[in-house]
Amino acid sequence: MTNPLFQPLRIRSLELSNRIVMSPMTRTYSIEGVPGRDVADYYRRRAEGGTGLIVTEGVAIDHETAVDHANVPNLHTPAAQAGWRKVVDDVHAAGGKIVPQLWHVGPLWGAMTQMDPSLKPMRPSGEWGPLGVTSYSAAYVERAQASTEAMTEQDIQDVIDAYVRSAKHAVELGFDGIAIHGGHGYLLDSFFWEGTNQRDDAWGGDLERRTKFPAAVVAAIRAAIGPDLPIIYRFSQHKQQDFTAKIAETPEELGVILGALVDAGVDVLDASIRRFDVPAFEGSDLSLAGWAKKLTGAVTMAVGSVGIGKSLRDSRIEGVAPVVDNIPQLEERIGSGEFDLIAIGRLHLADPALASTLRDGGPLPAFDRAVHEGSLI
């Protein structure tokens, strides 16, 4: 019997040889936004190692407050485009598939580095959001909690246009689809969350109206790139302002949000959680990715602590994470059809040939933050 992790999958024109995805991870090695030879080699090694799909680190869309670190890559400058073309060509030559994750940090602008205070961060209602369980420093939180001007209608249209420009650049460069970061309290997610979206116009209010802006971004991208390439959308319950926050208290509320995204053109719902096997709602063992599939029928992707005994947040605090062989449970969930793909982050840093290791039944690599986040291995 074929291992469920190594069943092929087709999503529109994208043909994957297996269900293993390299999860997007911010690396900040693209100096002044330009991915260089080291970045190309980094992604190529994962393709050579057999990973079915690579989702790049977050890539800045063409908007002045999209990201808050000079070394986050972009897609709109000629130098960055040349760098990404090399990345794409190398991944394809190694037999891999790759999509860029389009990113606008929204209310969280200034979390990575202090930015020009004269520039306006994009916030639905001008608020950073309620503070809860967070790993942010007290100094940053104090700065960030100052209210700013809410996004105007022109701001909203400008951001939609910026997403479209970046998506079109990605298609021109030969990427195999488009991924969108719509979770973790970043811009698109901040429209879903009542804590940051307190608008009373067409873009806020009840849950259905809070879905309008993210769905408009997806629909505009779909119209721009056409019907062939897949769109992957990362969503989450938790926020970086508060790890206990939720955009949906019930499956019915989650269905409203995800249904709007799928109707707008999303093909893959990327359910970002701290552990792939945690039940999303009381009374059911289904994970967040499992609920996404049940509610929409779309292809879904899980993520979180594969082969690792601590969540990303905890491992960053402690520096290391113990190896835990939860691969049989992962195989069982994919095999049962609960979800379709598994995104793996930290183990891909520890072992570029992770897919081959899993296929061969080799020992899982140990993750050491200082070693594996500290360089582009």
Q: What pLDDT, on a 0 to 100 scale, did the predictor assign at position 115? A: 86
For residue 377, being part of any structural domain is answered with no
User: Distance (Å, rounded) from C-alpha 64 to C-alpha 183?
Assistant: 20
Q: CA 174 → CA 17, 54, 84, 87, 337, distances in Å?
A: 19, 14, 9, 10, 31
Identify whether 136 is a catalytic site residue: no
The token pair that represents 109 in the structure block: 């602008």
Beta-bridged to residue 367, according to DSSP, are: 321
SS3 320: strand
pLDDT at 310: 64
Within a domain: residue 329? yes
Three-state DSSP class for 36? coil
For the CA atoms of 282, 287, 293, 295, what is the dihedral angle to 10 degrees? 10
DSSP secondary structure, 344-368, as one string: E-HHHHH-TTHHHHHHHTPPPPPEE
Q: Which token pair is 72? A: 């986050």
Whole domain around residue 255: which residue ranges?
4-372
The 10s digit of each residue's pLDDT in 82-101 is: 999 999 999 999 999 999 99
Catalytic residue, from 42, 43, 163, 186: name it.
186
How many Å apart are CA 38 and CA 377, to the nearest integer? Answer: 9
**Alpha-helical runs (H) found in 71-225:** 78-93, 138-144, 153-172, 187-192, 207-210, 212-225
Return all residues near 119 (Cβ < 8 A) that are at least 6 apart.
64, 65
CATH assignment at residue 297: 3.20.20.70
The total number of structural domains in the chain stands at 1
Length of the chain: 377
Averages of pLDDT over runs of 10 residues in the chain (377 residues) are 94 98 97 98 98 98 97 98 98 98 97 91 98 95 96 98 98 98 98 98 97 98 98 98 97 98 98 96 97 98 90 60 91 98 96 97 91 88
Q: Token pair for residue 281?
A: 């709602």
Structure-token match 């969280």, residue found: 108
Q: Domain for residue 315, yes or no? A: yes
E strands of 237-282, at which residues? 268-272
Residue 119 located in a structural domain: yes
Identify whether the C-beta of residue 307 lies closer than 8 Å to the C-beta of residue 354.
no
| Residue in 271, 227, 276 with CA at minimum distance from that of residue 5 | 276
| Domain contains 100 | yes
* Coil vs helix vs strand at 195: coil
pTM: 0.96
217: in domain: yes
Contact at 8 Å (CB) between 192 and 272? no
Could you tell me if residue 297 is inside a domain? yes
